[in-house]
Structure 1
Amino acid sequence: MTVTPIEYPQRPIPERSMSQDEESGYDSPGSATPSLPEVYFSSPHLKYLNAQLQTLEPEEILKWCMISLPNLYQTTAFGLTGLVTLDMLSRINAGGPRQIDLIFLDTLYHFDETLELVDRVRKRYPNSKLHIYKPAGCGNARDFERIHGDNLWDTNDNLYDYLAKVEPAQRAYAEFNVKAVLTGRRRSQGGKRGDLDIIELDDAGLIKVNPLANWTFKQVREYVTKHNVPYNSLLDMGYKSIGDWHSTSPIAEGEDERSGRWKGTNKSECGIHNKRSKYAEYLLQQEQKKKGEALTVALREVELQRTI
């Protein structure tokens, strides 16, 4: 199967003298380049915004996002932080004209408890439109295994991440012309998330906002209890960060929240939030494989010539 990665243009800072609108980091309504992102950030601007947003509460950050960022979506696997974000958005915009749609990547290997939660969330927040994306050409796990083999997450985890998560996300972003996304990442989750900014710009030019970056798990759980936010029943069984059933386990007291993900490995992210594209890694791997196969064929031909 040939899958083409989606490229998102990142607008460079012009070297010529910039107008007042350009210096602000925002395109003017009459921009002659409508295909480019309506909002872009220079490095100094991004640094300034992070310093200001760092002092705000999540609700205030979300209000800023709704005012400032066009084509804004929430990506969620219905983890606890994402559910808090969803609830906050529903309160901020109760009856308002702008709803933030959700994008859920159904890898086909979520826990039954997660899928049951999706149904409860839909009933609780009927105004929040949910878009579900699955691996290309697959309606269920049997389809995925028929095309890609069994236990791909063990035999080639980078390819699994790309097929089950990265490519569906790229497809969603392209179809909806997504310019910015809200994520559920927090610094207190540990690992590579320990130094998160509120706003990030990924290698493809996508704006990522982490509105609850400053919150602890305790604060998130207290909000859920106070506002009766629906949550995954696995959280009551020792789980804190929940992904696919084959790579998620309960954690012990005192362990980092995400220590139950890919336990026993040094992996901590699925590819969507890695700086280096998992697809780029996959292409490199495929190129190395092709070179190896070509070398093998060449050596066989040399051996054949010697025997003639």
Structure 2
Amino acid sequence: MNWINSLVRPKIRDLLKKREVPENLWIKCPETGEMVFHRDLEANLWVVPNSGHHMRMPAVKRLETLFDGGDYETVETPEAHADPLKFRDTKKYVDRLKEYRTRTGENDAIRVARGKVNGAPLTAAVQDFAFMGGSLGMAAGEAILTGMQSAVTHHTPFVLFAASGGARMQEGILSLMQMPRTTVGVQMLREAGLPYIVVLTNPTTGGVSASYAMLGDVHIAEPGAQIGFAGRRVIEQTIREKLPEGFQSAEYLLEHGMVDMVVKRHDLKDTIARICDILMKRKVEVPSLAPPEPAGDTIETEAGETDQKAAAG
């Protein structure tokens, strides 16, 4: 037996063999360059611990953190025509849809669910940027309308987590038609007297920000989220001027009255629940602003009642 061929060479090959390491075990913070272990990031709701940068969050995890105990009921949405225009760019649109459905496990960019938040019923829709940039197409428009109709039927507030690059170009004008359709859905909620709360996440741009994402009763933004219609470069080339620092960020829009509040992800659930309680005219515990009564001596009477006397010098 040739021990060099049978023993030494296999061991050398094993040493030189490229080990397969799963991708995305460590995630880099876009602001500081800090490397964060993916489990630590997930445990912290996809917020980088040291910098506080809010990373994109999967739609399913978003719903799990919103509803009590992660328990919710998925609202079934109608199917739309897969490829109405027979569109093709570098690949067929139907093939691109199959690719993203396999990659994300979602049928399209919107997931709708119903459950309880701090004990109160609520209907929510989450736009997943991982599915073709959260683009608004026929299926997404149908999902949003179905969610709003479900909120009206069950008389619950409707919360939308927006994250999108805009309308889906592969569906052309049929995609743009979803903008007025969803606007009608917003009006339907208002006629029913139900709150419509929009949470603007990073990024919310294009036709989405030009329609239902900016029609809420209350607009909440996550820290650092990019919110606007056109991109910074396009605007600067159009107006031939340099835009201010932080333009289109959540904090900039808050300063200029475009959003109502910027809320950290860890505080979103309680903030949404409190706003819904107020708008639905439920009983809300408000802390007393009255000063505390001065302390004094207390004595027990024969009847067992407690009397309070001011302390004497």
Q: Same fold (TM over 0.5)?
A: no
Structure with greater proportional strand content: 2
Larger Rg: 2
Please, what TM-score do these two structures have when normalized by structure 1? 0.25
Normalising by the residue count of structure 2, what TM-score does the alignment of the two structures yield? 0.24
